Structure 1
């Protein structure tokens, strides 16, 4: 659990941070010191490395969730479903790296960045930027937005709490509440 959780969280936090910086930083802010093709290569290498770290971690957590009877008994169907959706999203993200090797000029990365910047700034025409990209990018976007929408209704909501003391706290044992047993004579 400890290895899987730490690897998963290290990988996913680095990946999310890379997505935020890479997609939401306007091109004009970095074009003086890094070109679009160089940025794409950096994203592929860093994203690939942290993606593999995350993949190892989520594989450990998924095997534990599916095959450990104690974990299965205390978890919910929703927990398992979200974990499998995260697994699928990670695999799609890793496959986008393979797809990116076919266009190393940075053009698709720039279209995806324009799409993201249009979305977060509420500008119209965002769909025009992703219309020509390969299916894997569209699937990755769709599943990512689906996870974003599901987060408030699942344990993914812990992403938004960000307590610093969380890094040093002991692991929590989460169990379902059992109905109280009555002892003694019934009234």
Structure 2
């Protein structure tokens, strides 16, 4: 278990501070925002700015996901094979790779935006399905960190954050007695 807590290389982030969870905020945020733009494009006049913005957000999300995946692979290498944690990590990774491929396809399918129309129902449905799969992958990522403690500092280090420091005044009073 201790092996999964330590990075295999400094590129994965230092002990107790993995980079992968921080990097996933980019694709998650970009893809959620792109979905909101997609929906909004059906409710405004002249939605081209939203359809273009959505496509840009999808592209940013794909690039961010690829970056997060590279660092995530480093975390995967630290997990002992044949364990439940490793199987969970493989499913987490597989779903995320499918989601990233779906968004890359969605980016290509959209091409250049139509002449001022809203996002088509096909790309909108693909984004919704991709977000649903992303939520499942995120749940599994939470299992890895919070249930199995992958790349999380051990309990003795965590316990240091729960000690109540003695206020300076009380310490000074005891020394003067």
TM range (shorter): 0.5 to 0.7
1:33-48 alignment to 2 at 5 Å? 35-48=46-59
Give the number of equivalent residue pairs: 133
Distance verdict in 2 for CA 1:6–1:141, change over 3 Å: same
TM-score, structure 2 as length reference: 0.55
1:1-187 alignment to 2 at 5 Å? 1=12, 2-19=18-35, 21-25=36-40, 27-28=42-43, 30-31=44-45, 35-65=46-76, 67-69=77-79, 75-101=85-111, 104-105=114-115, 107=117, 109=119, 111-112=120-121, 130=122, 141-148=128-135, 150=136, 154-156=140-142, 172-173=152-153
Distance verdict in 2 for CA 1:13–1:63, change over 3 Å: same
Query: Which structure is richer in relative contact order (CA contacts within 8 A, separation 6 or more)?
Result: 2
Contact between 2:23 and 2:64, CA under 8 Å: does it hold in 1?
yes
TM-score, structure 1 as length reference: 0.52
Contact between 2:32 and 2:131, CA under 8 Å: does it hold in 1?
no
Distance verdict in 2 for CA 1:105–1:174, change over 3 Å: farther
Structure having the higher Rg: 2
Distance verdict in 2 for CA 1:46–1:54, change over 3 Å: same
State the alpha-carbon separation in 2 of the partners of residues 140 and 97 from structure 1: 10
Q: Aligned-residue CA RMSD in angstroms?
A: 3.7
Distance verdict in 2 for CA 1:37–1:153, change over 3 Å: closer
